[in-house]
Amino acid sequence: MLRWIFFLVLFIIVDIYAFQAIKTVTKNNWIHIIYWLISLLVVGNFIYNYYGFNRSDGFNHAHAFAFGFLLALVIPKMVLLLGMFAEDIFRLPQAIYRYFAHGDTAQGNYFPSRRKFISSMALGIAAIPLTSIIYGIYRGKYNFKVLKYTLTFEDLPQAFDGYKITQISDIHSGSFDDMEKVKYAVNLVNEQQSDVILFTGDMVNNKADELRPYVDVFNKLHAKDGKYSILGNHDYGDYATWSSEAAKHQNLEDLKALQKQIGFDLLLNEHRYLEKDGEKIALIGVENWGTGGFKQAGDLKKASQNIKAADFKVLMSHDPTHWEKKVIPDDYHYHLTLSGHTHGMQFGIEIPGWFKWSPAKWRYKYWAGIYNEMGQYINVNRGFGYLAFPGRVGIWPEITVIELKKGTPTA
């Protein structure tokens, strides 16, 4: 209860301060009423959906949209708060001066009036995150992008020169609310005509049942050399409340069965060889391993048993911190690692080839795209689906196509 009271008090303070911009720009009482009515509806809806939240019932679409609309309300108001506070930095010295210099004549009104220009400018700036978040909720989360990379390796087997891998990650099927958009994305994956499709974890938010409506969609994924998958941190059901450990275990077994039904070969700390024209590359899949409190079930040594040090290796590992902490320093040379997990925080700014930023960089050293350390590559996929916030702003859902080439890598 105390946290809800704290939340309400904090929100009211932000709201009152942000309202100063509205009040300065217009004296229309109807606009003032609409402002407060929207605030009450959004906050009330959030409290209604989250007060007494039961983890055993899971996180549903109503929860997601309640959270999304709250962000759409709070972030612009924080911008207004900063604008109004910046103005007060200059108003305060003037008020102090008036108090001491003209205390007898100021009649208690020492602060100068707010300037309409400042409030209008603050409102204009606040409109940018507002429209971006609304767009992200209704369109951005299905704004699928195909990102293509070519990576060159000296020791790539000749038969695999030009070999194409399509990577998808973080489907989070329980979050979807538009079946046709998902079908479109599956068709987009197939249009790449890659040799193999690799899925790098988080098929669901918590429960295997989330995937059932989409089995007949994802089983349309097709690649000549098959489809392979691994588990992500959400696939284990660790973020839900279960009636028993047996129920939680059965949920994971059900998820494994559904992945098999879709046609994925699920790699659980194990490997396969992809063969072509008498040559082969090793495909290794580990269970989730991550820092920061995430499950560490991944076993790189076990997964790589019977693989030769000289073999060309493609590793599937959901969390990029595994690459940073365990893979790079390993005695074996893992040529290419494919990860996901970060979603790029589903929020950021990207200008391809020029600029890339997201709050995710404060948490993860490797958070989106291709990185190279000690001659080893990782691609951190931005994710196919979305989680919690029901949208994406600037960091769009990703389908990655990586072409392997034989030759001398460029610096």
Q: In the chain, where does the domain assigned CATH 3.60.21.10 lie?
A: 143-406
CB 160 within 8 A of CB 279: yes
- Report in angstroms the alpha-carbon separations of 184 from 40, 145, 411: 37, 12, 37
pLDDT of residue 102 exceeding 80, the answer is no
CB 344 within 8 A of CB 333: no
DSSP label at 241?
-
* pLDDT > 70 fraction of the chain, expressed in percent and rounded: 93
Domain 143-406 has CATH 3.60.21.10: yes
Which of these ranges, 57-71, 82-96, 315-329, 346-360, has the smallest mean pLDDT? 82-96
DSSP label at 237?
T
Strand partners, 168: 199
CB 54 within 8 A of CB 117: no
Helices (H), 51-146: 61-101, 116-138
Q: Which two tokens stand for residue 298?
A: 């991944």
The mean pLDDT of 153-166, rounded to a whole number, is 97
- List all residues 6 or more positions away from 404 whose beta carbon is below 8 Å from its beta carbon: 151, 153, 156, 160, 161, 162, 163, 164, 165, 336
For 295-318, what is each residue's pLDDT tens digit?
A: 999 999 999 999 999 999 999 999
If you count DSSP H runs as helices and E runs as strands, how many of each does the chain have, helices first?
Answer: 9, 14
pLDDT of residue 5 exceeding 80, the answer is no
56 confidence band (pLDDT: 50, 70, 90): low
The mean pLDDT of 198-219, rounded to a whole number, is 97
- For the chain, give the mean pLDDT: 92
CA distance 375 to 328: 9
Strand partners, 270: 285
Residue 111: its pLDDT value, please? 60
For 230-278, what is each residue's pLDDT tens digit?
A: 999 999 999 999 999 999 999 999 999 999 999 999 999 999 999 999 9
